[in-house]
Amino acid sequence: MVLDFTPECGDRVTVFGYNGDFVVKDRNIADDGQWRFRLASAFSGEELDDIGYAKLTYSDGEKVRKVLRQILPASKPWPADLILSPDTGLPKYEIHFDEMRDGTPTVIVIFLAKPETVPSFAGASKRIEFYNRLRQKLLMVSLEAWVQFTTKEERSVLSAAS
């Protein structure tokens, strides 16, 4: 699977020579016709300006986000207990980052369960089957990170309901 590499505002990228992820804040085409980017560290907020296209690549989390956007439509049936995003019509998820104990970076994809979903092993098994299918499709992309899938309740909804 080939990902079109055109970082947009809000995308997370890594920068040659720097540690950690950066978020694209702004971009413009310079006089030489090449893209230049203004970036902010996702962790410290440190800003980098006038960074050339060649120094950037997508972070693993961004790759997962973009690939999911491509493969989710073709990964039906979706578990019935997942919330669908009103914007995309796809199952709604969050992407988080962590490290395993041995330092292996981990991308955690957390799908959101409908608030009325009663936790059940039958429901969980269907989700796990779905997550295994997604994992297989993600193998087509080169990733350094371990990717995990799981489910959570949408806390704000729960709070509002209580």
Partner 1 sequence: MPLADELLGHSRALLSGSPAEIDLRRAVSAAYYALFHLHSSAVAEQVSPDLPVGLRGRTQRALDHGSMVKVARQFSQPGPVPEAIPKDVGFSGPVSQTLANVAAAFADLQSARYSADYDVLDADGKIGPQWAVDCVAKAEDAFRDWRTEGTSEGARVFLAALIIGGLWNKGSQEQVPKNRGSRINP
Looking at the Cβ atoms of 23 and 151, the one nearer to partner 1 is 151
Question: Rounded to the nearest whole angstrom, what is the least distance from the CB of residue 101 to partner 1 in the complex?
Answer: 6
Looking at the Cβ atoms of 12 and 127, the one nearer to partner 1 is 127
Q: Both tokens of residue 18?
A: 């720097």
Q: What b/e string do you get for 64-97 counting C-beta neighbours within 10 Å, with b at 16 or more?
A: bbbbbeebbeebeebbebbbeeeeeeebbbebeb
The answer to whether the Cα torsion of 148, 154, 159, 162 is positive or negative is: negative
Question: Rounded to the nearest whole angstrom, what is the least distance from the CB of residue 67 to partner 1 in the complex?
Answer: 16
Among positions 38, 48, 150, 157, the unique one binding partner 1 when judged by CB under 8 A:
150
Among positions 153, 157, 160, 161, the unique one binding partner 1 when judged by CB under 8 A:
153
SS3 string of 98-117? EECCCCCEEEEEEEEECCCC
> Which 120-149 residues touch partner 1, going by CB under 8 A?
120-121, 123-125, 127-128, 132, 135-136, 139, 144, 146, 148
